[in-house]
A and B are shown apart, each in its own frame.
Chain A
């Protein structure tokens, strides 16, 4: 199922998020694309292959035999010195995990679209963020999207960010909940996209017989850690690269997403922090509860990596009660986003009431009444939401 009708560039139309991503990738013109099928990424892969086979997208397509090989083939192409693209989800992202570290360690740029899906076991094809959290330390930039338009726009921004920071980028949409949803999207034209991102012309790493170099050598204890420090340096610089790209994107295309790292609009005392498509629902509830006892404001985190500590702490300056919603769990502790936010607050010496809600694992429904429970319990106990037959179970009761 790959789109309803012929796309119109430079116009707004109703498309699936997967199609919107594919059309954005098309004009970014990656010279090499590698894909392996996995639900729910398949709509993205199918649209891209349709565009390539129709001659509408000029990219060398490698239909690899596993995700480990798709990331590896992308690595080879990026090491040669060209722009690349791939897409995956869940088990596929987990399978290529080893190569993710290698690719970023080699400081090669790339952009992968992820239709975020739960990790087995049990096997589950629906949305949650466990696959992204599993890739947390891979030194890939992670940008979470809330809408089809944002996904389309973030793909374009991602190429610019990746090639400036020399770090690869994940553009994340919730599997099914966003990837397969139809929304109005303005699809930008080739000329505008190309003039925004330019060409990829590597000077630091390429494979050219005229100027030979060795990529991927051994790093002894006397060297390895210094390279890793460079990666962290690049991640820190990437915070500004992301903000700048978002700002320039607004100037050229008229759309922006917060400051590129986080989206905060009002600084109230009660705050909910979340990522991904549920932010849209929360924004609706934000309006509903405005000027009531349960008034709260939403801080949407777009860039999970690099983690926007400074911006987040500033946004929380008025907050007294904070709820962090996680769509993943770090078993043996708490939700990963909660851990990130708590550590930022702790490090800064801020004392605020903060709690964690584990929501929507494996596509478990997050109903309005679930969000309302969260809104009414910001800063109190931490809960697993809508489990064991519609119950909310507090962390301390999970024994």
Chain B
């Protein structure tokens, strides 16, 4: 299937059946290889993969706290520099630890220009603590802190544009990816690791429990997210934006939304609103693609 055979993340972790991120870890670590150090923020990934005295990771791995993975990675990278050791430093953070509480440390790391690849596995809520809303949660989505009530229905704000914010820091490589396009994800990681500087990737990571999908629909929901334009696949290299995957025709967002229990309450008005937003954003990306430097580096 185009991927190397060696595994750096093994079976036996305590993730839910059908979880989206173990596949991400396997593809990313296969692209990165043995000479890699992983820094993990607090969250589902860290919790399920390192239940002392067991660890699913075969790479050197460190976890400190929730909001400081990017800062810890800055320290690891600085130490490696001084030790004159060459190794990939990859950070894994969920959307909570990236968009919200980890935002400051991430911005600092990007601004200082550390040679680190930060990968956000985006499951669009604080899943580990029981599905609470983050700034990555899509508008109208149900979460336990944005319940569907009589007065207020779901999350009230649109998803924070984290990819563009990272690109605006002047990073040489920023990209989105979905595990169902596994070679695209694999190649993007390889490309990122060949570039020196602070890199950011946002990877779609469905959560069976939080998104309320059957455990076997993870990959299908990823496909629909991309095919409907809800999760566009693009990269921004030295400020130049390129959409890597352009569906011939965008599928109606309703198909994507109705697959998931967190959206089943949506009325026609709300679905229309989401469709308009997706269309608008897609046009925005197409326009940015025309520019030589959509972002100033």
Residues of A that sit less than 8 Å from B by CB: 31-32, 34, 58-60, 62-66, 68-70, 72-82, 84, 98-99, 102-103, 106, 206-209, 211-220, 223
Contact = CB atoms under 8 A, between A and B. Distances in A.
Given A34-B75, A72-B68, A102-B65, A218 B82 contact: no
Nearest to A227: B52
Given A31-B82, A207-B37, A62 B75 contact: yes
Contacts of A60: 78-79, 81-82
B220 interface: no
Contacts of B105: 65-66, 68-69, 72
Given A72-B65, A209-B34, A64 B79 contact: no
A59 B82 contact: yes
B62 A76 contact: yes
Nearest to B52: A217
Contact of B76 (A70, A77, A103, A219): A77
Interface of B: 34-37, 39, 46-47, 50-53, 55, 57-65, 67-68, 70-83, 85, 87, 104-105, 107-108, 111-112
B60 A76 contact: no
Given A99-B64, A209-B36, A218-B51, A77 B78 contact: yes
Given A34-B75, A64-B71, A80 B64 contact: no
A221 B64 CA distance: 19
Nearest to A59: B82
Nearest to B86: A209
| 7 A-B pairs with least C-beta separation | A76-B75, A65-B108, A72-B68, A73-B75, A72-B71, A69-B71, A76-B72
Contact of A223 (B37, B52, B60): B52
Nearest to B33: A209
Most buried by A among B39, B73, B79, B105: B79
Nearest to B80: A80
Contact of B74 (A58, A76, A78, A79): A76
Contacts of A214: 50, 55, 57, 60-62
A98 B50 CA distance: 20
B52 to A, nearest CB: 4
B54 to A, nearest CB: 8
Contacts of A64: 71, 74, 108, 112
Chain A, interface SS category: mixed
Contacts of A99: 64-65, 68
A216 B51 contact: no
B76 A76 contact: yes
B111 A65 contact: yes
A63 B64 contact: no
A65 B104 contact: yes
User: Interface centre among A103, A106, A214, A220, by most B CB within 10 Å?
Assistant: A214
B3 to A, nearest CB: 20
22 contacts: A31-B78, A32-B75, A58-B82, A60-B82, A62-B78, A62-B112, A66-B104, A69-B68, A69-B104, A70-B71, A72-B65, A72-B75, A76-B62, A76-B71, A76-B75, A77-B76, A81-B83, A82-B79, A84-B75, A207-B76, A216-B50, A217-B51
